[in-house]
């Protein structure tokens, strides 16, 4: 299987759109190397430091949506994040930075996707990186969204990808074979499964075509692939009959039972996405056949969600972890702190195998804007985390890193 995968990868390399080493050569050293965060904070995250700042990206006005993966060596960590292009709402460049000392320091950023480099006569902007290490290889993939730069936002995006064979120091873009051709929005990580006795990879995504088309829809779905190069629609997450819910930004993880998968999703009102569900709750769905079919989405009564990404995963010992923003949606005018409420503190809950969700605990609270956490388990019960951060009134000015443990 390893040989066939490498042959497929060799074929993909012939589809390269631009030499990756050229991007690496152009990557500039950070003028202000990431340093420990001076802001006093509360929470169970330790060793908090800055991965990157918006000031490092001359064409950007925000940085957001970081994704973290283990590197090629034990203390290596690789982070990809998006740098929002000036004048755009939610798209721009995707960059990567590597730490070789377990997050103590971070190297210069290199472009994975650069919105200033045209594909022929077409110019794209990019968003929402998802990193994944191909099984039995040293190849790390970055899947992301690309959208025509003339679009107002990234909701008309298509799936794109690049890979690195040197631990994240250089990247090679690849054209994917897509059987799902509609718009999509990526967010959560890829999981491996078996369907009909064959290995497949599942990538959660959603679409919001209703935003610009009265005959559109707001649906969550799962893409499937046997090669990471060719993708098709695997399944939709069934909507509850009433009330309908805008299900989006789901995270896939192993469920409670052997062979079970569970997806926990961000939510909003279906018809008016400016509103939360009532009450504001995350929704979940379960698959017991490897991801081919899913149960009707249902509210998670113990999991808060107010229109912001929540991270969901299962640790090596079977403990489930949910990290989320407390408080209201950003646009809730009834909140005393409006317009500076929402997406501030990060909280978390845990659920042991076969148990119930814990009381709310503090993940990170510094009186600042924080959102979009992603974690990776580096040892049983030991995690590394990234999220986008800002100050008390301005979101997404820098990317933060921290260490987190489930152990007492």
Kindly report, residue by residue over 88-124, the tens digit of the pLDDT.
Answer: 999 999 999 999 999 999 999 999 999 999 999 999 9
207 contacts 219 by C-beta, under 8 angstroms: yes
* Residue with more model confidence, 67 or 338: 67
Q: What's the average model confidence in pLDDT over 360-379?
A: 96
What contacts 24+ positions apart, CB below 8 Å, involve 173-179? 173/16, 173/17, 173/18, 173/20, 173/113, 174/12, 174/13, 174/15, 174/16, 174/229, 175/15, 175/17, 176/229, 176/230, 176/231, 177/229, 177/230, 177/231, 178/230, 178/231, 179/230, 179/231, 179/232, 179/233
Residues 6+ apart with CB under 8 A from 11: none
In the chain the domains, ranked by start, together with CATH numbers, are: 1-29+61-174 (2.120.10.10), 176-306 (no CATH)
With b meaning 16 or more CB within 10 Å and e meaning fewer, what string describes 214-226?
eeebbbbbbbbbe
Q: How far apart are CA 207 and CA 203, in angstroms?
A: 13
pLDDT at 331 over 70: no
Helix (H, G, I), strand (E, B) or coil at 199: strand
256 contacts 232 by C-beta, under 8 angstroms: no
DSSP element (H, E) containing 20: helix 20-26
Confidence at residue 211, expressed as pLDDT on a 0 to 100 scale = 87
Kindly report, residue by residue over 134-143, the tens digit of the pLDDT.
Answer: 888 999 999 9
Q: How far apart are CA 155 and CA 336, in angstroms?
A: 31
Per-residue confidence band for 348, with pLDDT thresholds at 50, 70 and 90 = very high
Q: What's the average model confidence in pLDDT over 361-369?
A: 95
Q: What is the CA radius of gyration of the chain?
A: 20
With b meaning 16 or more CB within 10 Å and e meaning fewer, what string describes 317-332?
eebbbbbbbbbbbbeb
Q: CA 73: distance to chain centroid?
A: 22
DSSP element (H, E) containing 4: helix 2-13
Q: What's the average model confidence in pLDDT over 186-213?
A: 95
Kindly report, residue by residue over 221-251, the tens digit of the pLDDT.
Answer: 999 999 999 999 999 999 999 999 999 999 9
């Amino acid at each position: 299987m390893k040989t066939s995968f490498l042959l497929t990868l060799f074929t993909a390399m012939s589809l390269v759109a631009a030499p990756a080493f050229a991007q690496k050569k152009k990557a500039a050293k950070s003028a202000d190397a990431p340093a420990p965060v001076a802001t006093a904070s509360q929470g169970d995250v330790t060793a908090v430091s800055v991965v990157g700042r918006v000031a490092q990206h001359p064409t950007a006005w925000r940085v957001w949506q970081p994704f973290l993966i283990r590197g090629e060596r034990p203390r290596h960590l690789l982070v990809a994040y998006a740098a929002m292009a000036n004048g755009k709402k939610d798209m721009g460049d995707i960059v990567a930075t590597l730490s070789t000392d377990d997050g103590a320091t971070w190297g210069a950023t290199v472009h994975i996707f650069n919105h200033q480099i045209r594909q022929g006569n077409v110019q794209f902007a990019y968003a929402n990186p998802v990193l994944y290490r191909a099984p039995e290889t040293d190849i790390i993939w970055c899947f992301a969204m690309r959208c025509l730069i003339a679009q107002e936002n990234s909701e008309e995006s298509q799936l794109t990808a690049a890979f690195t064979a040197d631990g994240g120091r250089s990247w090679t873009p690849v054209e994917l074979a897509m059987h799902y051709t509609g718009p999509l929005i990526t967010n959560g990580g890829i999981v491996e499964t078996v369907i009909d006795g064959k290995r497949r990879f599942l990538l959660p995504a959603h679409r919001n075509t209703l935003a610009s088309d009265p005959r559109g829809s707001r649906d969550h779905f799962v893409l499937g692939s046997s090669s990471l190069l060719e993708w098709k629609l695997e399944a939709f997450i069934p909507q509850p009959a009433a009330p309908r819910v805008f299900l989006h930004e789901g995270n896939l993880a192993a469920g409670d039972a052997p062979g079970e998968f569970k997806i926990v999703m961000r939510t909003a009102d279906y018809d008016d996405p400016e509103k939360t569900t009532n009450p504001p709750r995350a929704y979940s769905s379960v698959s017991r056949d490897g991801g081919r079919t899913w149960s009707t989405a249902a509210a998670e009564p113990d999991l808060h969600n107010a229109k912001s990404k929540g991270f969901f995963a299962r640790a090596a010992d079977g403990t489930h972890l949910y990290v989320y923003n407390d408080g209201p949606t950003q646009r809730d005018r009834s909140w005393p702190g409006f317009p500076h409420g929402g997406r501030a503190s990060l909280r978390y809950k845990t659920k042991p195998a076969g148990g119930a969700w814990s009381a709310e605990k503090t993940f990170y609270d510094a009186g600042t804007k924080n959102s979009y956490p992603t974690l990776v388990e580096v040892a049983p019960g030991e995690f590394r985390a990234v999220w986008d951060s800002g100050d008390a009134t301005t979101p997404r000015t820098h990317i933060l890193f921290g260490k987190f443990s489930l152990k007492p």
